[in-house]
A and B are shown apart, each in its own frame.
Chain A
Amino acid sequence: MLPVRQAFLIAYMTGILWLRRNPISLVFTAISPFSLLFVLYVATDGAAVHFAVAGSLVMALVGYGLALGQDISFYKTEYKIQDVFVASPVSPLTYMMGLALSELLFGLPALIVLAGLVVSFGGSLLSIPLLIATILLIWGSMSSMGFFLSSHMLHMRNATQIISFVNVVLAVLPPVFYSIDIVPDALRPLAYALPTTHASLMLQYIIGETPIPADWSLGFGFAVQAAYLIGFVILARTRAIWRES
């Protein structure tokens, strides 16, 4: 029970208290996920709106995971706050959970709007649990990835570079904002190897307005997504640097 309480308290400190004292930061995190949505909507005269919404939601979640990575390396190198946590009864996973929750809090306004759009396109209330599960899966795997990456990056400058690179690999190159049908057959396995492809397909599936490839199913999507979540959590637990060597 204590780890859960600790995680919520960390989220409270770094999320709620921070926002209460610094509410303006919410505006920026709330607006940024809509930039690509806006461009795609305008550029295609609304035709690509379903892809754009699914893509923006995925990209936002990738962004929260990576922002977590950035925050963590900042807390570690600049504030030395991680030092204080390491030499305390807080476990690395609890620390990660707490900061990931606070990241989610910052993203909540945008998430609610984007998730609302998905549901309004999909039209079915039954899709809400599926949507929430999808969001949690992506959030969890991206957060643990962010934590894992951050703890291996010693310098802030490095962190920012790695984070933008990973963002491109996960959210820009794969079929997150566009149809997987466009991807040449030879590259499809590669696209399917990335969790974000499945995340976008799951959202497209819920929306139900775009063609779903025959070789993909919801179960497949969940399996890959869950595998990434478990894999990254294990990596974060065992390979993330908590005590330095």
Chain B
Amino acid sequence: MLAIDAVGVTKKYKGSRMLALSDISLKVESGKVFTLLGRNGAGKTTFVRICATQLTPSSGTIKVLGHDILQNASEIRNLVSIVPQEGRPLRALTPWDHVYNWLKIRGEGSSSAREKTEDILRKLELYEARNRPAMNLSGGMKQKILVAMAMATKAQLLFLDEPTIGLDPVSRRQVWSAIKQWKSNGGSILLTTHYMDEAEILSDYIVIIDKGKIVAEGTIQELRRIIPQNMRVDVSKDGLDVNSLSSYGSVVDTGGGMLRVFTFESAARELSELAIRHNVSFTVSPVTLDDVFVHLIGQTIDKGDTNGVGQNERN
């Protein structure tokens, strides 16, 4: 069974002239992590909220776990769990209060609620802080409370709208491993994120949307092939003849005095040698999802950090 089966979903908010979603059709397989990528305002949250029965579409049909979102919303609500974008825990309540009582509200018995609460709080490293009011916790810890509430439930489908926003690198990895475990227990996930490394590590399938339309979809491998070259070389602008770089591949100005050349292995090697000869700093790495994203959305974004997978730095 499909976790989500959306056909021709369109959404126009009241009082808005633009379509937030335009004719979106996609299928999310059960037991998979399905990721929506897109710039701010692309329509990710809108789509998630429609699927999670929080918002009605203007047209189109969606089945979630086999149930129609308009006709059988209550069946769906028994089977899903969400982390809303920019949610906040209740100030005076502790992590334990949130998770434990939420599980009981969702029908869990006391002893199993206690067990699951302890388990998720430990996994997300909130256990030490379990009895501290949320208002005394850091922003990332507050965010983790919401993640814990959603991931402690026995829902079949999780909606995670930017779940790791504001989390430190270690905390993010804790959430990632919770997500992987959720999946290995057979659960499905619809994820949105702006972190490309997160999408790369977690996703089984990715859909990139822009201005409410799907612009690309596929597995990581399929998406990487959208860029014809498989390597990229980041070099400093100074000391190199910028025009000659285009003979190595396609050149993108990534700002901060850096250029990125998309190319193949052999040309990457030549380019590296050129950089060494001119004593210019450079980095060679495989093409990432980040590159695909920027390539597709067609904008140059100033990226100070080039967090490529398998980065290979030389001077």
Contact = CB atoms under 8 A, between A and B. Distances in A.
Interface of A: 2, 5-6, 9-10, 12-14, 17-18, 21-22, 78-81, 83-84, 86-91, 243-245
Contact of A87 (B85, B86, B102, B159): B159
Q: Chain A interface mostly helix, strand, loop or mixed?
A: helix
Interface stretch (B49-57, B212-220, B237-245, B288-296): B49-57
Given A17-B93, A84-B84, A89-B74, 18 more contacts: A2-B107, A9-B104, A13-B93, A18-B90, A18-B92, A21-B93, A21-B94, A80-B84, A83-B84, A87-B52, A87-B77, A87-B81, A89-B78, A91-B74, A243-B55, A243-B73, A244-B56, A245-B56
B97 A17 contact: yes
Nearest to A98: B105
Interface in B76-105: 77-78, 80-82, 84-90, 92-94, 97, 101-102, 104-105
Nearest to B157: A87
30 contacts: A6-B105, A10-B105, A12-B101, A13-B93, A13-B97, A13-B105, A21-B133, A78-B88, A79-B87, A80-B85, A80-B87, A80-B88, A81-B88, A81-B90, A83-B87, A84-B84, A84-B102, A84-B149, A84-B150, A86-B77, A87-B54, A87-B77, A88-B80, A88-B81, A89-B74, A243-B53, A243-B73, A244-B55, A244-B56, A245-B56
B14 interface: yes
A103 to B, nearest CB: 15
Given A9-B101, A9-B105, A18 B87 contact: no
* Chain A to chain B: the 6 pairs with minimum beta-carbon distance, closest first: A80-B87, A83-B84, A87-B52, A21-B92, A80-B84, A22-B92
B80 A87 contact: yes
A90 B54 CA distance: 13
Contact of B77 (A12, A22, A88): A88
A86 B54 contact: yes
A79 B106 contact: no
Contacts of B159: 87
A80 B163 CA distance: 14
Contacts of B73: 243
Given A13-B93, A243-B53, A243-B56, A88 B88 contact: no
A89 B14 contact: no
Nearest to A78: B88
A83 B77 contact: no
Nearest to B85: A80
Contacts of A244: 49, 54-56
A27 B129 CA distance: 28
Given A13-B93, A80-B84, A245-B14, A86 B53 contact: yes
Contacts of B107: 2, 89
A208 to B, nearest CB: 42
A30 to B, nearest CB: 17
A79 B84 CA distance: 10
Contacts of A2: 107
Contacts of A14: 90
A152 to B, nearest CB: 13
A79 B105 CA distance: 18
A59 B10 CA distance: 46
A173 B135 CA distance: 40
A79 B92 CA distance: 13
A80 to B, nearest CB: 4
Nearest to A89: B78
